[in-house]
A and B are shown apart, each in its own frame.
Chain A
């Protein structure tokens, strides 16, 4: 490509700004008109534009990192199944399957609508939304205990939900019949359809200002410039081989301490992520499709090297992976994958752990490393209707090179909001008994790790079922550069004055109106030697109650004596 055919940096910025406007607008339209809490309050959705070759061009600012994989995965599947000339104006494709349609788990429903300009496809407008249920064995389609994808819900290959602007009623009926609470599903589908159609209109408006050829040129230039920017960032990592290994607690079906191994080979402006040697795929649903592994690499590179880099194909092109098919990081049909986000979190911890020696200023302690999920379902005694309340809770964010980790927050691959307590108790027959930061859960360090969260829930006037998924409940989040480990998480059932520890991935736990479920999420690892922590900072932790006196005495002897205690240091 010669410079004479590229678009100047000013015009390109103005065009990019117009495209960002489209994806942000479609993101908000989807959020506001959706029916399910998962989208409207927790913002578990994303929007993007892909070009006609399936390359990701622009993603809404609030899009989730893991959805970057499904966007391109869907486009690849559409283009391999359907010839471009067979696609017509007004078609909308829908898919969700991780094994044949580029998805990452079944509840994420992907949409793609072609945009025609002058009778030719210019690009596709895409969106993804996590539906609160897609059928299958368990309400919420997310719980542990499933061993094949068929149990996880309805598998949708690439199909047309709209043909030439006509909704395919027969297909829509199948989609709705196979999910619990179909009225809610229909509302969410409508929101996705409206968002896609809005995006098509908006891109056409842009095409009214610039020619299709200029826009295609802009797509190329944006991807090329971003790729060059990412390569430049990678070249700042010292050349070398970096390795790291960690384990998943369990798969919910008896396989424990599942190893994941990484070797990163950095040479100049290239980094190859070699995951070979990781465990075979497991029976439980924590397997990761390879494009979700790629999304974890993309997230980590961006976060460690250049957080402001635009999210487009240029970043993905720099993510070079080596995997063995049939392993936990590149699973194959019929592997179940619903809780793959837990593993994605671990992959990111591992990448950061591997690159920490090379990037000490950017690295952070291992975070809560989970997507701690709690699902309560039953029949609401107030109106006799079934209900399902799903929530994922934040935990500790690892200590950083110049500041403590954040307490009680979503980390890395996820950033979904909590649901207000006043919303939970109004919508569901549940009472939230407590919601707090857990004492002594942030790992010690010069900069301590963030603390985990405790939430206690009790059914009101009825019996209900609890399902959950935890990680870092048996393997604590580690610190970096001498930082200490954070406290692991756990699920506890309080009944008749007794506390019973539940499995890491509890399934079908019956609870009564006098019982309470205690969800405790993991803290996170600290950064740097605890003896380097300023006495004033420890005093603050003691005053705020985030550390107990015992914990401080054990890990921060300098705080009480004003000098390092050699005995404790040797401990």
Chain B
């Protein structure tokens, strides 16, 4: 009998599909990277799994968990390849989705518009009904108008339909009644109700989220069915988890119902991986820097928790759902340097991408990029990337840097350093947006760079922000796949109801919580989560009665029965949050509760620390020495180490370069890097 139990994390990116595998009883680890198959992402998953199983010597049939981060939804939104979709909405409001917030995306640009809604005006059909601000029925649902809309739906040929009524977050009955008619009379149609997708205040954001969901449903439905049936043959024991933008997993059935929840699935996995890696090194507060070819994602982790945001735009449309609070900036290895009309130098957001890529890739890139700057400074090895599989043309990098240097009257190296200073400044602005602008001091955090380009650029960001420690994880190029393996199953519940935070309302508020605890119980049973693996997270959204931006107030939960503290205590917690965010609070002004959020969690088994490889030692020898420019005018003759020769306890004093399969780390002069027991590299930054 086979007793192995493998857990697999699969992250499907635009270029590579990464797999991270862990065996629960032995603690064995295996990694695999293969090209993605954008036309049918499942193909790379299935062949990747077969290749990995063969490489690591296990039977795919013994896989117990397969966690999957997908970009299918994101790509469909960017490329507009979702289904033909219709909307049923409250009479006299079919234009709401088109008007949006009536603003222009760019103040001074006479040509820039927000994108046209995914449903055409003639496919936005009106139903005679109306719910009022207290949830009361103002106009009863007119079945005749439903009949007419159904006929128009059939004639229009839509494959999916969003049902979006005003105030349905308070009273979903009309939406549900229409949903039932659609299920009965048009069973082949994919239907999304706004009261199911995100039962929250603010109609445009709710409708937009619901429309996106409907638009994605037919596509995700096909993809999930295909993936599931293929996996049933290859890995019949595997429980499949799909990563959500909030950083928790859901079942494929849930993903088919709520595909919009996967819109930021990929970056969320990176954040989960970062939490896990930092925990192993005992670091609760982390700012992550995930830098790839075209952009950098930054996010903030406090007390081992990733911060959450609720308002995001995806492909130009607002989405209101809990999502990992990620700030993206157009700063990657392929970002191109250029001179603006006033002569100031800029870097990005235009990127050379994977094709042609930076000049040093030798595929015809003719403009200077961030990667070329690193080549010019000797920071990237001329031996190439991916363990030498991908050669770098250093001459080409010098050639594209030359005209820029001449214009500035600088040396090529000083120009390259300047280029990196600008890209660093752009990333620093993004990090400030998620830290100082939210009331957090970056100096209290560790900087964790990952992705192919992160560890090359961490030093500059740390210096600019006063951060004293950099944590480079064991496998920075594959952290997203690792993150999928450590994610929990989760379900986000919400009650959007506004009332004063006064003692008289405590009972009603607790009732909302209790309702959700009941729903959490149903979900745990449905997902077959054992009792000891269940937990809850409770957050109350509050604001001053006259404010419109709510703050998240986390409420500690004991066991599985979530109790709200007394309103006085809750208000104190709100004041603390207000102080943190804005630097003041007014103790006399009335405070409202706006929404109560409960997250039900089902913990899955997680991998432990990786074990050092056979070549690892505490006294590693450099594989070469070369000239590398750091912050000074002259190069340092710098030792280069290979990451897999470093075992726990190894200490490397800067200047040094540490190479690994898909990332390069710099240790600046004066800094010291230590390898800890989790095989993470901890760099002390000299201040």
Chain B nearest CB from A514 CB (Å) reads 14
Chain B residues 505 to 547 lying within 8 A of chain A, measured CB to CB, are: 544, 546-547
Most buried by A among B93, B122, B548: B548
Digit string of A402-430 for contact with B (CB within 8 Å is 1, else 0)? 11001111110001111011110110000
Interface flag for B120 (CB, 8 Å): yes
Could you tell me the dominant secondary structure of chain B's interface residues? loop
Cα–Cα, bound, A18→B345 (Å): 15
Chain A residues 246 to 304 lying within 8 A of chain B, measured CB to CB, are: 299, 302-304
Contact of A436 among B95, B167, B549 (CB under 8 A): B95
A164 to chain B: which residues have CB within 8 Å?
Answer: none
How many contacting A-B pairs (Cβ < 8 A)?
Answer: 201
Contact of B421 among A14, A184, A191, A544 (CB under 8 A): A14
Interface flag for B341 (CB, 8 Å): yes
Cα–Cα, bound, A543→B156 (Å): 12
Which of B219-227, B425-433, B634-642, B675-683 is found at the contact surface with chain A?
B425-433
Cα–Cα, bound, A190→B583 (Å): 11
Chain A nearest CB from B117 CB (Å) reads 11
Residues A13 and B582 in contact, CB atoms below 8 Å apart: no
Q: Provided the pairs A9-B343, A34-B547, A436-B93 are in contact, do residues A394 and B584 lie with their beta carbons within 8 angstroms?
A: no
Cα–Cα, bound, A40→B543 (Å): 12
Q: Provided the pairs A194-B583, A544-B121 are in contact, do residues A416 and B432 lie with their beta carbons within 8 angstroms?
A: no
Residues A10 and B103 in contact, CB atoms below 8 Å apart: no
Residues A418 and B101 in contact, CB atoms below 8 Å apart: yes
Chain B nearest CB from A159 CB (Å) reads 23
- Interface size grouping (class) on chain A: 35 or more
Q: Provided the pairs A36-B546, A409-B104, A436-B95 are in contact, do residues A10 and B418 lie with their beta carbons within 8 angstroms?
A: yes
Interface flag for B580 (CB, 8 Å): no
Cα–Cα, bound, A409→B95 (Å): 12
Chain A nearest CB from B612 CB (Å) reads 40
Contact of B93 among A198, A364, A435 (CB under 8 A): A435
Residues B343 and A225 in contact, CB atoms below 8 Å apart: yes
Digit string of B337-355 for contact with A (CB within 8 Å is 1, else 0)? 0011111111000000000
Interface flag for A534 (CB, 8 Å): no
- When C-beta atoms are compared, the residue in chain A nearest to B550 turns out to be A32
Cα–Cα, bound, A13→B169 (Å): 47
Interface flag for B79 (CB, 8 Å): no
Residues A10 and B421 in contact, CB atoms below 8 Å apart: yes
Interface flag for B133 (CB, 8 Å): yes
Interface flag for B109 (CB, 8 Å): yes
- When C-beta atoms are compared, the residue in chain B nearest to A402 turns out to be B111
Chain B residues 91 to 143 lying within 8 A of chain A, measured CB to CB, are: 92-96, 98-99, 101-104, 106-111, 113, 120-122, 132-133, 138
Chain A residues 427 to 454 lying within 8 A of chain B, measured CB to CB, are: 431, 433-437, 453
Cα–Cα, bound, A417→B103 (Å): 6
Interface flag for A136 (CB, 8 Å): no
B204 to chain A: which residues have CB within 8 Å?
Answer: 420
Residues B342 and A225 in contact, CB atoms below 8 Å apart: yes
A12 to chain B: which residues have CB within 8 Å?
Answer: 344
Residues B121 and A40 in contact, CB atoms below 8 Å apart: no
A431 to chain B: which residues have CB within 8 Å?
Answer: 132, 138
Which of A143-151, A226-234, A326-334, A477-485 is found at the contact surface with chain B?
A226-234
Cα–Cα, bound, A397→B544 (Å): 36
Q: Provided the pairs A20-B429, A436-B94, A544-B121 are in contact, do residues A13 and B422 lie with their beta carbons within 8 angstroms?
A: yes
Which of A305-313, A493-501, A550-558 is found at the contact surface with chain B?
A305-313
B102 to chain A: which residues have CB within 8 Å?
Answer: 393-394, 408-410, 417-418, 453
Chain A residues 308 to 362 lying within 8 A of chain B, measured CB to CB, are: 308-310, 362
B201 to chain A: which residues have CB within 8 Å?
Answer: 420, 422-423, 426
Interface flag for B380 (CB, 8 Å): no
Q: Provided the pairs A37-B548, A364-B110, A420-B202 are in contact, do residues A18 and B133 lie with their beta carbons within 8 angstroms?
A: no
A183 to chain B: which residues have CB within 8 Å?
Answer: 546, 589
Contact of A13 among B92, B341, B345, B578 (CB under 8 A): B345
Which of A21-29, A49-57, A80-88, A100-108 is found at the contact surface with chain B?
A21-29
Q: Provided the pairs A225-B343, A437-B95 are in contact, do residues A10 and B582 lie with their beta carbons within 8 angstroms?
A: no
- When C-beta atoms are compared, the residue in chain B nearest to A229 turns out to be B342
Residues B202 and A422 in contact, CB atoms below 8 Å apart: yes
Chain A residues 512 to 542 lying within 8 A of chain B, measured CB to CB, are: none
Interface flag for A33 (CB, 8 Å): yes
Interface flag for B80 (CB, 8 Å): no
Contact of B109 among A35, A37, A303, A416 (CB under 8 A): A303
Residues B582 and A32 in contact, CB atoms below 8 Å apart: yes
Contact of A408 among B95, B166, B408 (CB under 8 A): B95
Residues B422 and A14 in contact, CB atoms below 8 Å apart: yes
Chain B nearest CB from A206 CB (Å) reads 11
Residues A25 and B341 in contact, CB atoms below 8 Å apart: no
B584 to chain A: which residues have CB within 8 Å?
Answer: 33, 190, 194
Cα–Cα, bound, A435→B89 (Å): 12
Most buried by A among B94, B113, B410: B113
- When C-beta atoms are compared, the residue in chain B nearest to A21 turns out to be B429
Interface flag for A65 (CB, 8 Å): yes
Interface flag for B498 (CB, 8 Å): yes
Interface flag for B568 (CB, 8 Å): no
- When C-beta atoms are compared, the residue in chain A nearest to B466 turns out to be A205
B202 to chain A: which residues have CB within 8 Å?
Answer: 420, 422-423
Residues B104 and A9 in contact, CB atoms below 8 Å apart: no
Residues B342 and A310 in contact, CB atoms below 8 Å apart: yes
Interface flag for A490 (CB, 8 Å): no
Residues B110 and A16 in contact, CB atoms below 8 Å apart: no
Contact of A32 among B106, B432, B581 (CB under 8 A): B581
Contact of A407 among B98, B408, B433 (CB under 8 A): B98
Digit string of B204-218 for contact with A (CB within 8 Å is 1, else 0)? 100000000000000
B167 to chain A: which residues have CB within 8 Å?
Answer: 422, 425
Interface flag for A565 (CB, 8 Å): no
Interface flag for A381 (CB, 8 Å): no
- When C-beta atoms are compared, the residue in chain B nearest to A403 turns out to be B111
Q: Provided the pairs A400-B111, A422-B166 are in contact, do residues A13 and B93 lie with their beta carbons within 8 angstroms?
A: no
Chain B residues 559 to 583 lying within 8 A of chain A, measured CB to CB, are: 578, 581-583
Residues A545 and B121 in contact, CB atoms below 8 Å apart: yes
Residues B345 and A9 in contact, CB atoms below 8 Å apart: yes
22 cross-chain CB contacts under 8 A: A9-B345, A9-B408, A12-B344, A21-B428, A21-B432, A25-B437, A29-B582, A32-B549, A33-B581, A187-B544, A191-B582, A303-B108, A364-B110, A409-B103, A410-B102, A410-B104, A417-B102, A418-B101, A422-B202, A433-B92, A435-B99, A544-B120
Q: A65-B108, A225-B342, A410-B104 are in contact. List 16 more A-B contacts (CB 8 A).
A: A10-B421, A13-B344, A40-B548, A183-B589, A225-B344, A232-B341, A402-B111, A415-B104, A417-B101, A417-B102, A418-B101, A420-B202, A425-B167, A434-B92, A435-B96, A437-B99
